[in-house]
Amino acid sequence: MKISEEAVFKWVVIVMVAAISIIAVTLLTRPLAGALWALVLVCLAGWWGLRWAARKQRGR
């Protein structure tokens, strides 16, 4: 993983887009739906992180 301002900025944009989707779901439906959508996104991020870490370990 390259740790630089550029890489971190990409994550700011990703988190911002995710937050906008959560806000939209919450305002269009109800807070519980927004919370569940947030949970889905957190789980997806966790799964992606684990997959990335496993790939990195295999690469070593």
Partner 1 sequence: MESATVALGHDHADEHHGPPEANESSRIDKQTLGIFLFIVSEIMLFGAFFASYFFLRVVVAPSSWPPEPYELPVAVAGVNTAILVSSSFTIHYALESIRRGNRQGMKLGLVLTWMLGATFLFIQLNEYVHIGFSARDLAFGSIFYGLTGLHGAHVFVGLMLLSFATIRAFRGHFGPDAKDHLGVEVPGIYWHFVDVMWIVVYVTVYIL
Residue ranges that bind partner 1, judged by CB under 8 A: 3-6, 8-9, 11-12, 15-16, 19, 22-23, 26-27, 31, 34-35, 38
In contact, 13 and 32? CB cutoff 8 Å: no
Residue type, 38: A
Shortest spacing between CB 49 and partner 1, in angstroms: 13
CB closer to partner 1 out of 35 and 50? 35
Distance, C-alpha 38 to centroid of its chain:
9
Q: Are 33 and 26 in contact (CB under 8 A)?
A: yes
Q: How far is the CB of 55 from partner 1 (least distance, A)?
A: 17
